[in-house]
């Protein structure tokens, strides 16, 4: 209906644009993924993820306090397990004196209001680098679920606010909910990786934890028998709905930017918060392009985060969380 309607009237200057802006970002929209290693006063940068480090528990606690002061209210934690503790059962995953359990206790003691969501999957503990127990040449679903329950209960006992199953086993959310409730942890939530795709964007993450599947003829060479085919859309909605029915308090879509259509579809389908994981490969690409002067780092960082939020994310797990929070606070 031009000239009666002119869209540019609402874009005239920043004051008007801010009045009508449909989406906003704050540090409370972010969750910071953190990698934890054994030792003390240990901090090593991950080569494929500039600015992201493996830290010992003492330095992790200091970082947690720093990001909490910036307004970030959740961390999603992963551990790099010593090779001598890995096997095919994953039993180190529920060791009450394990690295993950000690990290949860330390974070909650130092910063009680920080929401701690430990990863629930067996790949950091597996000699095969898979998310579950290998039997008969494949990842065995139901025995893996039983191991994940023991893992999640140990996290709850250590003080976790939510457990975050990233394994993509069938029925694991129901088993986790039943296990947590039976152990008396009715108020510990589940943030389920509901639509986790078998993506090439995870490469730097696997460098961080040394958790890539090993090359052996007797086991699957990749994770495509349990992670989703990236050609599929309807399957993601189905998986998210199943997880909600099984008791998930939040669902996740992973990766982020390349999967915004899935984020919106899932957001429209479920009645729980949707988390989006802005993954390591997406982070690394921006860092690499910015280092070469091909992109403006801060502008593209904020644009991608805003687009994830616009697509329907209630919470964004992102390696940019600290940098973005600093920028927003300015």
**Catalytic residue chosen out of the listed positions 196, 267, 287, 309:** 196
Give yes or no for a contact between 213 and 128, defined as CB atoms under 8 angstroms apart: yes
Measuring CA to CA, which residue among 153, 169, 45 is closest to residue 104?
A: 153
Whose structure tokens read 């430990």?
Answer: 118
Q: Answer yes or no: 254 catalytic.
A: yes
**Catalytic residue chosen out of the listed positions 86, 108, 223, 254:** 254
Give yes or no for a contact between 254 and 264, defined as CB atoms under 8 angstroms apart: no
Say which residues have a Cβ less than 8 Å from residue 179's Cβ, sequence separation at least 6.
Answer: 149, 150, 152, 153
The DSSP bridge pattern shows strands 315-318 and 162-165 to be unpaired
Torsion, CA 108, CA 109, CA 111, CA 115, rounded to 10: 10
Q: Answer yes or no: 322 catalytic.
A: no
Task: Give me the active site residues, please.
Answer: 196, 254
């Amino acid at each position: 209906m031009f000239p009666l309607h002119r869209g540019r009237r609402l874009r005239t200057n920043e004051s008007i644009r801010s009045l009508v802006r449909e989406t906003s970002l704050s540090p409370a929209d972010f969750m910071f993924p953190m990698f934890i290693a054994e030792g003390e006063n240990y901090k090593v940068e991950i080569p494929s993820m500039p600015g992201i480090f493996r830290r010992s528990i003492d330095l992790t606690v200091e970082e947690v306090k720093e990001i909490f002061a910036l307004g970030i209210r959740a961390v999603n934690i992963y551990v790099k397990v010593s090779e001598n503790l890995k096997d095919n059962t994953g039993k180190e995953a529920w060791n009450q004196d394990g690295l993950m359990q000690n990290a949860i206790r330390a974070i909650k003691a130092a910063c009680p209001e920080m929401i701690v969501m430990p990863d629930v999957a067996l790949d950091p503990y597996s000699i095969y680098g898979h998310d579950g127990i290998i039997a008969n040449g494949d990842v065995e679903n139901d025995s893996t679920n039983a191991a994940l329950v023991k893992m999640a209960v140990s996290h709850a006992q250590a003080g976790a606010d939510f457990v975050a199953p990233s394994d993509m086993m069938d029925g694991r959310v129901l088993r986790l909910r039943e296990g947590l409730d039976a152990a008396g942890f009715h108020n510990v939530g589940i943030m389920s990786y509901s639509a986790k795709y078998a993506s090439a964007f995870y490469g730097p993450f696997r460098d961080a934890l040394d958790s890539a599947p090993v090359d052996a003829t007797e086991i699957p060479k990749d994770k495509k028998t349990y992670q989703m085919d990236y050609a599929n859309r309807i399957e993601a909605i189905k998986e998210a709905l199943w997880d909600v029915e099984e008791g998930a308090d939040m669902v996740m879509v992973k990766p982020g930017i390349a999967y915004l259509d899935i984020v919106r579809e899932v957001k429209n389908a479920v009645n729980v918060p949707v988390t989006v994981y802005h993954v390591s490969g997406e982070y690394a690409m921006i860092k690499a392009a910015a280092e070469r002067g091909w992109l403006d780092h801060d502008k593209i960082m904020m644009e991608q985060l805003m687009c994830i939020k616009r697509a329907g994310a209630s919470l964004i797990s992102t390696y940019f969380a600290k940098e973005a929070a600093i920028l927003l606070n300015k």
